[in-house]
Amino acid sequence: MTAARKVRVFDVPLGEAMAMSRRGEEPPEHMANAIYLEWFSELNGRVVIKSSDYRLQISEPAWRYTAKEIAERKHCIAEEQTPFAIAITEDGETQDWDEVRFEQFLRESDALTERYGRC
């Protein structure tokens, strides 16, 4: 997530800017902040939302953790039962990861990302 990415924004509608470019003219533009959200899901693959045309409105939270949920979360973290910790221990290795294993994991993640990008 990037909340202040600088991007060029046309000062005229996109169709008009494209027509100006085809005629060899420079469409008027300015620099603006853009929000950039990117994530990966098994269902949809790579998802990107990028826009400089947005309005931020902060509302009250729709829900809050209960005291029991907070205690369970703290216990899971203390016991290293987070989704990432579980994933790295399910590879069948009993020893702690070293730099080589981390690099292998990153290569596998990159390959998965590339595969999602082709879909």
- Closest Cα to residue 88, out of 76, 106, 73? 106
* Burial of residue 36, with CB atoms counted within 10 A of its CB: 0-12 exposed, 13-18 middle, 19 or more buried: middle
In one-letter notation, the amino acid at residue 15 is G
pLDDT 10s digits, 27-71:
999 999 888 888 888 887 888 888 888 887 888 888 888 999 999
pTM: 0.41
Q: Domain locations in the chain?
A: 1-54, 68-119
